[in-house]
Amino acid sequence: MATTDLLRGNAVIGQSGGPTAVINQSLVGIVEGLRAGLHAAGYVSRILGMRHGVRGLTKGELIDLTDIHQDRLDRLASTPSAGLGSTRDKPDDAYCERVIEACRKQDARYFFYIGGNDSADTCRIVHERAVGSGYDLRCLHVPKTVDNDLVENDHCPGFASAARYVAMACMADFMDNISLPGIKINVIMGRHAGFLTAASALARRHDLLLTGRGEESTDGPQLIYVPEVPFEMERFVADVEGWYSRKGRCHIAVSEGIADSEGTPIGATLIEGAQVDAHGNVQLSGSGALGDQLADYLKERLTPVGGKPPRVRADTFGYVQRCWPHASPVDAREARRAGQFAAMLAMQGDRDGSVTIVRQGSGSEMWLGEDNGQPYLSTFRRVELREVAAKTRRMPDEFLAGHNNVSRAFVEYALPLVGELPGFERL
C-alpha cells in the first residue's frame, strides 16, 4: 500500500479487560513499532496512552508516551498488569460517540486496543461508528487474555505466563499433597474455556519426563475439570473416591467456570452478592466459594479411610495467577511482537484488523530431542475484527480426555509455550 494512503495525526493506545503479566509488553511493542515507523516517517506526531482504556480517553485522561526513554519502556514491559490502567466498560452508542469525539479532539487517527474478545468488539464498534460519522480512524486490536479463548489464534498473549504459574503452583502443591496426604482441590481461572485449568497437566513432570505420558499420570493433578465438559457432582465424588480409596490422597484441578449440563456456572450461584460487569459476565474470581463448596461436599460424601474423615483442602489461585511477575519468556516475546506487528499493520495502511498468532514450528523437540524435533516458532497475521470480536474459543475435542482429564495433544500444544519448568527430585 502506498504511503500516500496514510493518515497524519496522533495515535492512542488502550488496555482493556483483565490484566496479564505481559499486556505491558504489547503496549511497549506498539510504542516501539510506532516510533520506528509512522512516528519516524512523520505521520504520527504524538503517541498517547489512554488511562483505563476508552473511559480515560473520553475524559481526556491521557499519558504522552512519545518520548518515554527506552529504559523505562523496557522496565514497563516486564511489569505485570496494565500500566495504563484497564477498564471493563462496554461502549454503547452514546459512549461510542464520546470515544470518536475524543479522538477528533486529540487528532487521533490511530486507535490501538489491547484486550480479549470484548475489547476486539469495542475496537470493531468504534471503527464502524468512526466510518459512519465520516471520521477516518484506523482501529487495530492486539490480543490478550489468560483464558486463551480468542478464535483465530493458536494461543493468546498472557495465556502462557498464567499457564506457567499454574503449572509451577500445581507442581509445588502436588509435592505438598504427597508430603501431607489428603484431598486437595485447586480452583483455576477460566470462564468458558478450560485452557488455563488444563495447564495444570504440565505439572505432571515426573511422568512427562520419564514416560512421556500425560494422560494416565499418577502425578498430580490426577483429575482435571474444565468448563467444556458438563460437571456432575456425583460423578465428581466417584472420581475422587476412586483415587482416594487407592492412594489415600487425590490432587484435583477445577476451572472456576465449570457448569452443569444446562451451562449454568456452578461457582456463580455460590458467591454472595456476585457482581456483574458491563459485558454481562458474572463474577467468578475473587472468592473461594466454589472450592469451599466442593470441599464441603467431599467431606460429607467420601467414605472414611481407616476410620478417619478425609483431610480435604481447597485453594483458589486468584488474581496472582494472571499477574505473577515472572512471565514465560516465549509469552513476553510474542506479546511484544504482537504490539510491534499492529504498528506495522498501521504503517502498511491497514484500516482495521486484529493481530493473531499462528504457530509454525510445533515445538516437538520438547519431546523428541533437539536434533529430531521441530523447534517452536510462531508468526503473526492480520484477520478482520469481526472474525475475533465477541467470539469465544473453547478447548477442542482433541485436547480433552474423558470427562476429567486432558490429552497428550494438549500437553504437546502447551509445553513449548510456558518456558522451562523446574526439575524436582523425588525420594
CB burial of 130-158 (b: ≥16 within 10 Å; e: otherwise) equals beeeeeebbbbbbbbbbbbbbbbbebbbb
In angstroms, the CA 103 to CA 223 distance is 50
Alpha-carbon distances of 221 from 174, 320, 400, rounded to whole Å: 7, 20, 15
- Residue 221 Cβ vs a copy of itself, minimum distance, rounded to whole Å: 13
Query: Are the C-beta atoms of 135 and 104 separated by less than 8 Å?
Result: yes
Q: Are 364 and 393 in contact (CB under 8 A)?
A: no
Asked whether 123 and 354 are in contact (CB, 8 A), the reply is yes
> Catalytic residue among 118, 121, 147, 352, which?
147
- Mark whether 176 is an active-site residue: no
Residue 303 in contact with a copy of itself, rule: CB under 8 A: no
Stretch 242-271 residues interacting with a copy of itself (CB under 8 A) = 271
Cβ neighbours of 95 (radius 10 Å): 18
Q: Is 72 in the site for a copy of itself (CB under 8 A)?
A: yes
Interface with a copy of itself (CB under 8 A), residue from 9, 12, 14, 19: 19
How far, in Å, CA of 21 to CA of 169, rounded?
16
Q: Residue 56: which residues within 8 A CB-CB, separation 6 or more?
A: 14, 50, 62, 84, 85, 87
Measured distance CA(61)–CA(407) in Å, rounded: 47
**How big is the chain by its Cα radius of gyration, in Å?**
23
Q: State which of residues 8, 59, 246, 311 lies at the interface with a copy of itself (CB under 8 A).
A: 311
Contact window for a copy of itself (CB under 8 A) among 125-133, 134-142, 284-292, 342-350:
284-292
CA distance 213 to 408: 7
Q: How far is the CB of 379 from a copy of itself (least distance, A)?
A: 29
**Residue 199 CB, nearest approach to a copy of itself (Å):** 14
What's the rounded Cα separation, in Å, for the pair 271 and 277? 15
Question: What is the C-alpha to C-alpha distance for residues 154 and 143, in angstroms, rounded to an integer?
Answer: 11
Instruction: Between 240 and 312, name the residue whose CB sits nearer to a copy of itself.
Output: 312
Among 35, 184, 337, 394, binds a copy of itself (CB under 8 A): 184
First to last CA, the chain: 63
Select from 291, 339, 353, 416 the one that contacts a copy of itself (CB under 8 A): 291
Segment near a copy of itself (CB under 8 A); pick from 140-148, 235-243, 287-295, 400-408: 287-295
Query: How many chain residues are in contact with a copy of itself, going by CB under 8 A?
Result: 69
Binding segment for a copy of itself (CB under 8 A), chosen from 92-100, 108-116, 272-280, 331-339, is: 272-280
The answer to whether the CB of 183 falls within 8 A of the CB of 252 is yes
Site string for a copy of itself, 151-170 (x = CB under 8 A): -----------------xx-
Based on the shown chain and the rule CB under 8 A, indicate whether residue 209 belongs to the binding site for a copy of itself: no
82-141 residues in contact with a copy of itself (CB under 8 A) are 82-88
Q: What does the binding site for a copy of itself look like in residue numbers (CB under 8 A)?
A: 15, 18-19, 21, 49, 63, 65, 72, 75-76, 78-88, 168-169, 171-173, 175-176, 178-180, 184, 271-273, 275, 285-289, 291-292, 295-296, 299-300, 309, 311-320, 322-326, 422-427
Catalytically active residues, by annotation: 147
